[in-house]
Structure 1
Amino acid sequence: MTSVLHPIKHLSAAALAVFSAFALSGSPEAAARGITVALANSFTTLDPYDATDVVSRQVSKSFYEGLFAFDKDMKPQPQLAESYEASPDGLVYTIKLKQGVPFHDGSEFDAEAVKVNFERVLDKKNGLTRYTYFNFVDKVEVVNKYTVRFTLKTPMSAFIARLANGTGQMICPSAIAKEGNDGLAFRPCGTGPYLLKSFNPSTKLEVVKNPNYRIKGLPKLDSITWLPVPENQTRVNMLLTGEADYVHSLPPELYKRLTDRNDIKLFNFPSIYQRWLTINMLHKPFDDIRVRQAIAYAINKKAYAKVVFDGFARPAASVLPPEIPGAVSFDEWPYDPKKARELLKEAGYPNGFETQLWGAFNNSTVNKGLQFLQQQLRQVGIKTTPRALEAGIMVDEVDSQTDPQKAPVRLWFVTWSNSTGEPDWGLRPFFDSRAVPPALNNTSYYVNPKVDALFDQGLGEVDAEKRAAIYSDIQKILWKDVPAVPLGFDNILAGVSKHLENFRPTLDSGFDFYNAEWKE
């Protein structure tokens, strides 16, 4: 999960065929210098309100801007907003907007546009996947042309961070009225620095410079071609040959081979990207905590970081990345296969059992992780059938399940990037009982009323110290209950041509290309 990919679920096969072939002309001028970006995972929609994955929201920033955006340290900064004020009780946010900002269709961005965008995502009939990300908003009101007021149902201390993560982007009201959900998945219209040239969800997204962008001198690139390239070696080869100018992410096992190249710049730093093995607690034998503990003991987290990521990852000793404020560090679950076998015997499985082991995304790294987990679990008698799921199959069999009892997922190797940089969004989507699919990502089907109550208290608490204590309690309960085994936190590994400046990865495993430029 980063996070978890979500295909364009609203489209018929006929509509998909039509829209996949769609091409919209961009700037009439020939591009002097465009770049190509190779990504490890696919993008499937250009509608930020219907994208659950980091990649889709990141490439959509070609076209869209939000009221706020994160800086390099994951701190929210005004983007289309000028400033904001919050009421003392944390229920009302009044936001002043920038003036004179043009949408791609020539209309002006204003408070009414903000209202239209948020009312769209808050209307459950639209079935947008990011509804749950903003469903704490009670109403959105136009104060005047350049001032908008959000009234929340309950206090939400992370509200501005939610606005900054790439979901609440401003779409042209005309496009919302004309295109509907299906069209917006393929035909973006925003205030951003680029315009659409062509889009095929499985193969390519091409964008060209917006000549009427609000900031003179930007963008500095004439075009960007985004390519999904899941095969690790292929991405590296593209960087080496110059076929790609930026590669995200670089495979750990190949990273060291690039360190002596003077034509490539490399990025390597800790991220807030985490990987879990979630355990479906609704089904035997996983309803028994001894079985879940056995799985935790059976996996060598240090070996996981070394074997799967060639050392470019940190073994998990917490349920949140250490970079997230309020993360609690625990003693690592020790690697103890003997203890795991004893627990399985106590639980009534002296000879182990068989089950499914699925992975989110079908790329080289995920398949390597599945092989490692299969080997580790086999040593204690748990025989697994590994399977890496393509995006469409993943949505059908995991994300879109409406009957928890029939959900086929059992052990789920999944990623999550905390796109708000605070504790709630690092935990709630996986462990709130109201976050089971299709709402969010609780594929453990974990139900703990105490944890649910603490989540609600945490969101409503405006005192920072009290809020930190609440999320500390949540983390301690999750560590004890083992609804999922935290495996590790990836390093960000990316490569870029030495000529491409200001195109860089971000802490949440996204990338920033806002000021990117080519220099010979």
Structure 2
Amino acid sequence: MPPDSAEFAHTGISRRQWLSAMGVAGVTAAAGCADEGDPTDDDDAVPAGDQGAQLDLSRDPPPVEGTYHAVQGSSFDTINPLYNTESGAGTAIGYALDQGYTFDGENEVFPLLLETIEDVAGDGSEWRIQFRENLEFSDPYGAYTADDYVYLIQEVHQSDWANTANATDWQGVEVEATGELEVHARLADPNIIWPETFDPLEYPIPKDLLEPYVAEEDAAGLREHEELLDLSFAGNLGPYTLEEWIRDGGTRYVRNDEYYLREVGERNDDRSLFGNAPYFEDATIQILDEEAQRVQALAQGETDNVTLPPDRAQEFIEDEEIMVILEPTPFNTILSVNMRDNGWTHGPGNLFTVTAFRQAIAAAINKEEFIEGILRGFAEPHFTWQPEFSEWFPEDLELTRWGDPNDGVYGPEAARQLAEEALDQIDEDYSYDGDVLVGPEGNQVELTVLYNAASETQELAADFIAREFENNLGIELDAEPIDGTTFSENYWQAEPEPGSSTEIDGEEVVWEEPAPQNPGPRSVTSDNEWDLATIFGLNTYPRNPITNQVFFDGPNSQYNPVGYYPEFDAAGALQGMRNAETRDELTEAAEELFAGLNEEQPYIMLAFGDDIEGYQPDIRGPFENFSSGFDFAGWHRDDR
């Protein structure tokens, strides 16, 4: 599918980052029982011709024909570019309005509205942004220039009244228009991968449109401004022109005959594909709430793109009339363990707080069987807090392969040995009676794993994990369904206690500005006790690994619902990442972080799943890559 606004990665936390930090997908996006064969085999997934191949940007323009029709499952609250925080709405906005750049299949910056974005100081402290010359708003707003970009940042995002979605991205950043099309940005906290944070990305908004609201400090009016809601100011700045937004129904577009990238294609042989872009006469995003309706629409040829549930993916992979693209994602499938004082409900103490016991859990769950049996093969094993496609994955380190039955640490002997190491580190009287872990009163340890009641896959996953606990740890694990919202509000979050503190390794740690997702020390707990849960997956930020400070920058980090206290110097590693002046320095510091997380398993890491995208077989453009959709303006129907 075309790129959306989901994969934002920031050095500070904002509302749109909260949305991208937590995914209710986890294993909710997977389903079913194991099937014969390898469902990720390329010969099956890309059955013919150049289906599923990245477009050749130097080819001649194809014919313009037909409609591109996509289906989503959720409607959007707004398509105002200044206030939207929803991924689906970000896709809808992106049909009609480009941003400065995206990333290509090699994870390199791919310029859109920008010509260049350069680190002029060499240490990430000062950047020069150069805009293209041929960017035009609709009448009466004229050309898009550096003044529009700077005004939006200084007078809106950096104001104390507008409260826009991107406001925190610009804290500590000074911007100045140094030419009609040139901006200099100075960062109080230098960042050598500033483009990868997505912070510089802004939708183009006319200064003249904003000025009345700035003068009156009218945030409510800005939210409801008609042109911001119908994108009628967009001019030549997007491949399609929005014709209609139907609340709860979707959006309709027509081809933009003045699209600025055409000139880029005409001038540059390596971008000639864009010489007559875009290549559909019109486009539509339709909202269908029911998953069965969405899948049926694809099967019957009524739509060009649907995200498929894994339990239906194999049948479409085997169907030559459908093209299936497996897109890797940054969201993980994890088992969360509650290290707070209301975790470990069997009895006294909390073994989850002991690293060796979390390692024992990781060693007790067979990742290979989990991926093949529960996720139907549409995933890769997860060993540290980065997917393997990330530039920052520590491929030179020998990571412990927890739960790998072939080359790693897995099985009852390994898991119980680690569990016994943990028992030696606690005061409470837990022990093994044969193969069974018993508590102080001599009864088998019984715990509960919560799963999303709306997900058959999470139920299967929880049952699988429960069997592995029984077989490899001697623990009876009961699987219980729960509503996802109820879990989030009453289990995952708690009332913050500002100023609360605790002593950790001889030092006092204070929660000065706690949030519901990390309300204070382990003694600050949610309304309801809980042991383990499969409900949420989390973003690992493969383009900007510094953002993982949100999770791991000490016990009082911004997002720490499970009460994890790092035993290695996670804060020091993250400080090294923030201070890095070269990519090599950043890589070295990141290796320290990801090695430590691999060992300590703050969340029990299981898998990285794929987004399973189904397309009509004549669509050209989608390919199996994290950046699929970066060249959406060049997508077309097979012209052979």
TM-score of the superposed pair, with normalisation by structure 2: 0.65
- The aligned counterpart of 1:196 is 242
Q: Tell me if structure 1 keeps the 8 A contact 2:117–2:127.
A: yes
Q: Tell me if structure 2 keeps the 8 A contact 1:454–1:474.
A: yes
- The aligned counterpart of 2:594 is 475
Paired with 2:334 and 2:386, the residues of 1 have a C-alpha distance of: 11
Q: Tell me if structure 1 keeps the 8 A contact 2:335–2:604.
A: yes
- The aligned counterpart of 2:553 is 432
Once the two structures are superposed, residues 140-186 of structure 1 have per-residue CA deviations (whole angstroms, 9 ceiling, x without a partner) of 11112211111101220111222389x53333445555552466985
C-alpha change, 1:503 and 1:469, in structure 2 (3 Å) is closer
Q: CA deviation at 1:263?
A: 2.7
Does 137-146 or 217-226 show the bigger shift? 217-226
Which 5+ residue runs of structure 1 have no aligned equivalent? Answer: 10-30
Once the two structures are superposed, residues 312-352 of structure 1 have per-residue CA deviations (whole angstroms, 9 ceiling, x without a partner) of 21111232111112312522213446736946877657344
What are the residue-to-residue correspondences of 1:337-352 with 2, within 5 Å?
339=415, 342=419, 350=439, 351-352=444-445
Paired residue secondary structure (2:90): helix
* Corresponding residue pairs, total: 489
C-alpha change, 1:514 and 1:125, in structure 2 (3 Å) is same
What are the residue-to-residue correspondences of 1:309-324 with 2, within 5 Å?
309-324=375-390
1:170 matched to 2:289? The reply is: no
Once the two structures are superposed, residues 24-46 of structure 1 have per-residue CA deviations (whole angstroms, 9 ceiling, x without a partner) of xxxxxxx9832321246665553
Does 258-267 or 201-210 show the bigger shift? 201-210
- The aligned counterpart of 2:104 is 71
- The aligned counterpart of 1:218 is 277
Q: CA deviation at 1:95?
A: 1.2
One-letter code of the match for 2:198? Answer: L
Paired with 2:122 and 2:251, the residues of 1 have a C-alpha distance of: 44
Rg larger in 1 or in 2? 2
Q: CA deviation at 1:48?
A: 5.7
Q: CA deviation at 1:465?
A: 1.9
Paired with 2:181 and 2:6, the residues of 1 have a C-alpha distance of: 34
Q: Tell me if structure 2 keeps the 8 A contact 1:279–1:443.
A: no
- The aligned counterpart of 1:332 is 401
What are the residue-to-residue correspondences of 1:148-163 with 2, within 5 Å?
148-163=183-198
One-letter code of the match for 2:634? Answer: N
Once the two structures are superposed, residues 174-207 of structure 1 have per-residue CA deviations (whole angstroms, 9 ceiling, x without a partner) of 5555552466985545432233344467553434
- The aligned counterpart of 1:33 is 66
Q: Tell me if structure 2 keeps the 8 A contact 1:352–1:383.
A: no
Q: CA deviation at 1:223?
A: 3.2
Q: Tell me if structure 2 keeps the 8 A contact 1:267–1:493.
A: yes
Q: CA deviation at 1:89?
A: 3.2
Q: Tell me if structure 2 keeps the 8 A contact 1:251–1:365.
A: no
Q: CA deviation at 1:82?
A: 1.4
What are the residue-to-residue correspondences of 1:319-398 with 2, within 5 Å?
319-328=385-394, 330-334=399-403, 335-336=410-411, 339=415, 342=419, 350=439, 351-355=444-448, 357=450, 369=461, 372-373=464-465, 380-387=475-482, 389=484
- The aligned counterpart of 2:294 is 235
One-letter code of the match for 2:280? Answer: L
What are the residue-to-residue correspondences of 1:390-429 with 2, within 5 Å?
402-403=515-516, 404=519, 405=524, 411=533, 413-416=535-538, 421-425=543-547, 427-429=548-550
- The aligned counterpart of 1:20 is none
Q: Tell me if structure 2 keeps the 8 A contact 1:263–1:497.
A: yes
Q: Tell me if structure 1 keeps the 8 A contact 2:459–2:479.
A: no
Paired residue secondary structure (2:71): strand
Q: Tell me if structure 1 keeps the 8 A contact 2:466–2:476.
A: no
C-alpha change, 1:354 and 1:3, in structure 2 (3 Å) is farther
Does 447-456 or 233-242 show the bigger shift? 447-456
Paired residue secondary structure (1:73): coil
Paired with 1:398 and 1:200, the residues of 2 have a C-alpha distance of: 35
Paired residue secondary structure (1:62): helix
Q: CA deviation at 1:139?
A: 1.2
Q: CA deviation at 1:460?
A: 2.5
Paired residue secondary structure (1:36): strand
Q: Which of residues 451, 465, 475 is equivalent to 2:584?
A: 465
One-letter code of the match for 1:204? Answer: G
Q: CA deviation at 1:461?
A: 0.8
Measured on the aligned residues, the alpha-carbon RMSD in Å equals: 4.2
What are the residue-to-residue correspondences of 1:19-30 with 2, within 5 Å?
none
Answer 1 or 2: higher relative contact order, Cα 8 Å, separation at least 6.
Answer: 2
Paired with 2:258 and 2:86, the residues of 1 have a C-alpha distance of: 29
Does 80-89 or 192-201 show the bigger shift? 192-201
Paired residue secondary structure (1:61): helix
Which 5+ residue runs of structure 2 have no aligned equivalent? Answer: 9-13, 19-63, 214-220, 263-275, 345-351, 404-409, 431-438, 496-514
Paired with 1:287 and 1:489, the residues of 2 have a C-alpha distance of: 25
Q: CA deviation at 1:52?
A: 5.7
Percent sequence identity is 18
- The aligned counterpart of 2:39 is none
TM-score of the superposed pair, with normalisation by structure 1: 0.78
Q: Tell me if structure 2 keeps the 8 A contact 1:74–1:420.
A: no
